[in-house]
Amino acid sequence: MKTLEQLVRPNIWKLKPYSCARNEFHGNATTFLDANENPYNAPYNRYPDPLQTTLKNKLFQVKGVKPQQIFLGNGSDEPIDLTIRIFCEPGLDNIVAIDPTYGMYEVAADINGVEYRKVPLSENFEMSASKLLDATDEHTKLIFLCTPNNPTGNCLDRAEIYKVLSRFEGIVIVDEAYTDFSSEPSHTKDLATFPNLIVFQTFSKAWGSAGIRLGMAFASKEIIEIFNKVKYPYNMNVLTQERALYMLEGSETVKTWVQILLKERERLKTLLKEIPCVQKVYPSEANFLLIEVGDANAAYQHLVTSGVIVRNRNNISLCRGCLRVTVGTPEENNIFVDTLKSWKQ
Ligand code: PMP
């Protein structure tokens, strides 16, 4: 790996961060008159903890990653954008990513004026480390991987991920938004081995909390320090922090949801395979299935007309004729299956 000083944009490396009131004073006091807050309307009158210490300590217990190695943001979209802004010089540096994958990596690269290079997966949605590495040059700062991958649903081959991590001199992001639905262990265990690894996870999927906007990035202490320098001072509000703590107390419930969804995923797969228009159901380690139905636009329209909304992936690379359907409750899944069955091609 290159040094962080070689990888981080020079302006970010030199940045002197804003020091907010809650950073300057830590500890107990009786009278807080430092942040121009309103003394009324407790507890929401106070700015939140800028480093979300209580929440990170709790996440340490659940995820086994030290608080200094955790960044929390407004959904995963915040660390996606921050990673690009920290490492990629607009108009000069580039990003390499598997294709197809989660669309926000490319959008965030476009917003930041950073070239985004797509390396196609195989027909079976497998990744080749050597193809990815061949697409890099001296200006490639980041490689984006997503496992289980969206929209394909499969896990990338672990040995290929390790090849990328050990051979690439820049930063490798492994987005594990769907990891709780997968049989593969998380790559957070690899943080000690690979200083160039950043793992993303989210509260939006297994944790059932897309509405609170809480994304997590796990990385070396040194990388997280740079995230903390660049983020908005109070990037995570009090309500999100409170609700996340509440969810972490009830992690048994989350495990039960995951078990139900995994069973439903398998049941849905079996039911779908019996429908004549379904040509293929791709293997999935996530909470969705990618299915090939032939004329995906027509199938999608039929479903929409019946009030059932899925994601039409017809125009995504390697996904022609495909719909992506989220695993819902047993009732929702039955409605979807019955509606698709009633489609006359
Ligand atoms: N990563 C992947 C792979 C996703 O599919 C999604 C959302 N669909 C996200 C990240 C975004 O998650 P969040 O809600 O945390 O922004």
Q: 171-175 and 197-202: which strand pairing?
A: parallel
Instruction: Please report the pLDDT score of residue 137 as a whole number.
Output: 98
Written as one letter, the residue type at 155 is: C
> Cβ contacts of residue 23 below 8 Å, gap of 6+?
50, 233
Question: How remote is the CA of residue 260 from the centroid of ligand 1, in Å?
Answer: 21
Residues 6+ apart with CB under 8 A from 5: 13
**Cα–Cα distance list, 271 to 252, 264, 335 (Å):** 29, 10, 12
Length of the chain in residues, anyone?
345
**Residue 87 — very low, low, confident or very high, per pLDDT cuts 50/70/90?**
very high
What SS3 state is found at 320? coil
For 124-155, write each residue's pLDDT tens digit. Answer: 999 999 999 999 999 999 999 999 999 999 99
- Type of residue at 58: K
Question: pLDDT at position 24, please?
Answer: 84
**Whole-angstrom Cα distance, residue 219 to residue 227?**
10
Ligand 1 pocket, residue 175 CB under 6 Å? yes
Tell which one of 71, 72, 74, 76 to mutate to probe ligand 1, the residue whose CB is within 8 A of the most ligand atoms: 76
Q: In this model, does residue 9 exceed pLDDT 90?
A: yes
Residue from 101, 155, 120 nearest 285 by CA = 155
The answer, yes or no, to whether any atom of ligand 1 lies below 6 A from the CB of 52, is no
All residues at 6 or more sequence positions from 54 whose CB lies less than 8 Å from its CB, including other chains: 241, 245
- pLDDT tens digits, 32-43: 999 999 999 999
Residue 255 Cα to ligand 1 middle (Å): 20
pLDDT at 251: 86
Residue 156 is given by DSSP the state: P
pLDDT for res 332: 98
**Contact between residue 113 and residue 162 where contact means Cβ atoms under 8 Å apart:** no
User: What's this model's pTM, rounded to 2 decimal places?
Assistant: 0.97
For residue 306, pLDDT beyond 90: yes
Alpha helices in 15-64 (DSSP H): 21-24, 53-63
Alpha carbon distances (Å) from 190 to 76, 212, 221: 20, 28, 14
Look at residue 23 in the predicted model and tell me its pLDDT: 81
Neighbours of 289 (CB within 10 A): 24
What integer pLDDT is reported at residue 22 of this predicted model?
Answer: 81
The reported pLDDT for the residue numbered 246 is 97
